[in-house]
Amino acid sequence: MSAPLDPSDPCIKEQVLNATRVLHAGGVIAYPTEYCFGLGCDPRNERAVDRLLSIKQRSREQGVILIAADFEQVQYLTDWSTIECQDEIRASWPGPNTWLLPAKPSVAPWVRGKHTSVAMRVPGHAVSVALCKQFGFPIVSTSANRHGSPALLDAQDVQNELGGELDYIFDFPVGGATSASTIRDALSGNYLR
């Protein structure tokens, strides 16, 4: 369930514009998702992804999840020719459902990690979608916490824990999900989370 967002609200519009400026400049942001705050950056920018992973204390080999505004943005990075459950994937979005999808060759190794797939979702949180729309490309979405620590659920917790290391924190509530997104392999159908 998405947190309410009035696109005409000047405060929300300003935060979306500020956050996307930071993303275009190679910065790392924190923003609300369905369940918790996420850390985000431009997945095409290796330095930004490495910085995000350093903040999170996460290995590059694991890869990162990306969120997209819509199915069209998902297609920028994925090869759908071998996916048999396309209708099921589309029906699960928008929402907290991450799918491991065959990556196009253009997807960088710092995004994929040691995998041939890319983890993607179209979120069910209006701020996340607005960020991707304004940015014009999918963005990294990993939970805003140190690797192995509990997820951070509000902007003040993010500020207290990570504020000095981030370039922007979006001040808006998370959605109504009670757990992190599921992660499912589109080719095997197996659930990883």
Q: Quickly state the pLDDT bin for 5 (edges 50, 70, 90).
A: low
| Residue 192 and residue 95 in contact, taking contact as beta carbons nearer than 8 Å | no
CA dihedral for 145, 114, 118, 51, sign (positive or negative):
positive
Query: How far, in Å, are 149, 157, 174 from residue 10 at the CA level?
Result: 34, 24, 19
- Whether 125 is covered by a domain: the verdict is yes
The per-residue pLDDT for range 14-58, each reduced to its tens digit, is: 999 999 999 999 999 999 999 999 999 999 999 999 999 999 999
Region 124-144: mean pLDDT is 96
- Whether 157 is covered by a domain: the verdict is yes
- Whether 105 is covered by a domain: the verdict is yes
Region 137-149: mean pLDDT is 94
Select from 160, 193, 185 the least CA-distant residue to 37: 160
| Residue 186 and residue 82 in contact, taking contact as beta carbons nearer than 8 Å | no
pTM of the full structure: 0.93
Domain containing 158: what range?
10-185
Please state, rounded to an integer, the average pLDDT across all residues of the chain.
93
Please say if the pLDDT value at position 7 is more than 80: no
Query: How far, in Å, are 76, 80, 142 from residue 63 at the CA level?
Result: 18, 20, 10
Q: How many domains does the chain have?
A: 1
Domain containing 164 — which CATH number?
A: 3.90.870.10
- Whether 67 is covered by a domain: the verdict is yes
| Residue 61 and residue 113 in contact, taking contact as beta carbons nearer than 8 Å | yes
- Whether 193 is covered by a domain: the verdict is no
Please say if the pLDDT value at position 4 is more than 80: no
Region 159-171: mean pLDDT is 96
